[in-house]
Amino acid sequence: MSFDAFFRAEHQRLAALATALCGDREAGRDVAQEALTRTYREWDRVSQLERPGGWARRVVVNLAHDHGRHLAVRRHRLPELASRIAGDRAADEGPLDAEMWAAVAMLPERQRTAVALFYIGDRSISDVADAMGVSEGTVKTTLHKARNQLRRLLLEEAT
């Protein structure tokens, strides 16, 4: 596969993932662009990998973590977020807006990353594990804890 074909296939997904992780559309675009630049620089090596997209997603995750943004959370958006996290992953939905995903910023870094990869990136548990550098069991546990944390926050908000 050429880098051009890779770029066309992955650019939007990487930008959506980065936006979710950063909580900001412009920061997400910058992170995705930097990840693609690094992928291009390493293309001779990366193109030989079984999953070049997984390598690029890992770069996005690392760059987003380095970005270190601490966003203000808009608690009135938590019910919408929780319903999507709880399983309303409609395949025809477009990328979630940055404002709603800002609510994910209140989760610990590992949970935030797993949620973004799984729900925004629409990656399998195996792909999430590869991108995060952890086991599949850790991803499942992390997603479970993230959903529980969001549920607790919603109960606090409702009362």
Q: Which of 20, 24, 16, 36 is nearest to 94 (CA)?
A: 16
Answer yes or no: pTM beyond 0.75.
no
Which CATH class name applies to 3-158? mainly alpha
Segment 62-74 shows an average pLDDT of 59
Say which residue the tokens 């910058």 belong to: 30
Model pLDDT for residues 72-108, shown as the tens digit of each residue = 333 344 455 555 555 544 434 444 444 445 567 778 8
Q: If pLDDT is split at 50, 70 and 90, which confidence band does 36 have?
A: very high
pLDDT at residue 64, rounded to an integer: 86
What does the domain layout of the chain look like in residue ranges? 3-158
Q: Are 142 and 118 in contact (CB under 8 A)?
A: no
pLDDT at residue 19, rounded to an integer: 87
What does pLDDT average to over the chain? Answer: 77
Give the 3-state secondary structure percentages of the chain, helix then strand then coil, rounded to 5: 75, 0, 25
Report the distance separating Cα 23 and Cα 47, nearest Å.
Answer: 29
